[in-house]
Structure 1
């Protein structure tokens, strides 16, 4: 999570003391000088711009600044869904303010140069998105879903809180990153949305050998693919007679394999896979 430095906190404390003496602690000016310095008596930082107009303004900022990674409705794209009710790097307004303005080290999330009001309005929009599109309550039984996860071989390709396969995405915190609707879609129509990191390479060498694997890296001259055996292989493009990038998922659909109640159980299990904010390592 993002917090101010010690010097920032000392500065805010000094400013609070000055404003108290002047009787101006609650004025709007304090919010503009330092939005994170305006605190109530319990030291909990509150969003000073929570109105419907602020939500609408935040939605406009979101579409222009954030939608490319998180989707137009914040339900996720290359970046995680922000409608699940749980934010990976912190759930408080203060934490969200820091994430938006400073970014998250080690991830594609960069800080945005917005004024204080615009940041708070973005947070208001995110809170609204959680109310209207949040995770809600899963219908199924997560215990049954965990058994279905193992029985259907999901762990051969996925890690889910304990060691598993590596051919598919790590699902250890998928409940924090995807909504219930997205999880169900992923089970019933796996190719509806495939992260480019999980596109595959399929081709044939000039000597007639078939090759196929998860495309790990690509440069001007070569590919590195992860074969189903777990072997990492480098392939020179000049050695290939033909090849194609496969943008569909190798994962089979569960649409005809599981009953609807079983799909709901599996969704409930996946939704339960979360990393509590404050305990995770940024990535």
Structure 2
């Protein structure tokens, strides 16, 4: 099984590789082609130092200075593998606008690990598995597709995941699967409404302001209510799904699939 173990968490101040900006514009989608390996916290710490010295001048401390790209969030113009990143850093690109960098093997592995783990040298371990197997888990025994919509396919009763890779880091996605109560965003908390006529409606919020709330219910009805007209409006802190019971390898593969969901940039 092709997989990478990362450590993920908060952001680190970091410095130049227009290198990475160039590759982000490559239209080709490459298959993952690397052997199993583990990115330790020491490797990622090395990468943070390399980034500070070589990359941050162009990409910024947070990886987001290049338009439509955010290295820390994994936001690229196309899906890019570790091998792609290594090759572009090593060879350079853009008719000399990005020079080749002669990094040691340790430095090269470190910078890739640092980018892949969201710019954090000391977060929690995350294993990312095979995207194709993850898609099978998503549509099969994981039962994710019974609630979530992807690329126009599936129900709307849970958040659309078509571009989830731009919105969540690997660690955040893993926590959503394994410890959903700790990662539930307020807007996605289940709600229960009782109308003036006594109808009880359960669903999730799409929009809310001081006076009104818009929800989508289990039947995919889009409903808007004035809060003052409701008998009851309760927001639950309990997620709609329990921690996954999938084996670790299935969780890793599912993460691999979720991290491939980049909307129109796929």
The alignment's TM-score, normalised by the length of structure 1, stands at: 0.49
> SS of the counterpart of 2:255?
helix
Say whether residues 1:267 and 2:249 are aligned partners. no
> Are the aligned partners of 2:155 and 2:220 in contact in 1 as well (CA < 8 Å)?
no
Deviations 1:172-226 (A, max 9, x none): 2333443322221121122323334423332334554322221223344432221
- Residue 198 of structure 1 corresponds to 188
Structure 1 residues 140 and 205, CA gap change in structure 2 (3 angstroms): same
> Are the aligned partners of 1:83 and 1:129 in contact in 2 as well (CA < 8 Å)?
no
- Residue 174 of structure 2 corresponds to 184
- Residue 142 of structure 1 corresponds to 131
Moved over 6 A (4+): none
Supply the distance in 2 between the matched residues of 1:177 and 1:235 (Cα, whole angstroms): 28
Supply the distance in 2 between the matched residues of 1:129 and 1:86 (Cα, whole angstroms): 16
How far has the Cα of 1:156 moved from its partner? 2.5
> Are the aligned partners of 2:215 and 2:224 in contact in 1 as well (CA < 8 Å)?
yes
> Are the aligned partners of 1:82 and 1:177 in contact in 2 as well (CA < 8 Å)?
no
> SS of the counterpart of 1:268?
helix
Which of 155, 169, 172 is residue 145 of structure 2 equivalent to? 155
Say whether residues 1:226 and 2:216 are aligned partners. yes
How far has the Cα of 1:228 moved from its partner? 0.6
The alignment's TM-score, normalised by the length of structure 2, stands at: 0.51
Point out the structure with the larger helix share: 1
- Residue 239 of structure 1 corresponds to 229
> Are the aligned partners of 1:140 and 1:268 in contact in 2 as well (CA < 8 Å)?
yes
Supply the distance in 2 between the matched residues of 1:87 and 1:273 (Cα, whole angstroms): 12
> SS of the counterpart of 1:170?
coil
How far has the Cα of 1:269 moved from its partner? 1.7
1:25-44 paired onto structure 2 within 5 Å:
none
> Are the aligned partners of 1:81 and 1:177 in contact in 2 as well (CA < 8 Å)?
no
> SS of the counterpart of 2:139?
helix
How far has the Cα of 1:229 moved from its partner? 0.4
Q: How many residues align?
A: 176
Deviations 1:116-144 (A, max 9, x none): xxxxxxxxxxxx98752515995423222
Supply the distance in 2 between the matched residues of 1:81 and 1:198 (Cα, whole angstroms): 24
Supply the distance in 1 between the matched residues of 2:165 and 2:131 (Cα, whole angstroms): 12
Say whether residues 1:171 and 2:153 are aligned partners. no
Deviations 1:35-94 (A, max 9, x none): xxxx9xxxx8xxxxx7549959x54xx6xxx9xxxxxxxxxxxxx985244335999xxx
Structure 2: gaps of 5 or more residues: 1-17, 23-50, 81-109, 119-125
> Are the aligned partners of 1:174 and 1:271 in contact in 2 as well (CA < 8 Å)?
yes
Supply the distance in 1 between the matched residues of 2:79 and 2:134 (Cα, whole angstroms): 28
Which of 65, 72, 75 is residue 86 of structure 1 equivalent to? 75
Structure 1: gaps of 5 or more residues: 1-38, 45-49, 67-79, 92-127
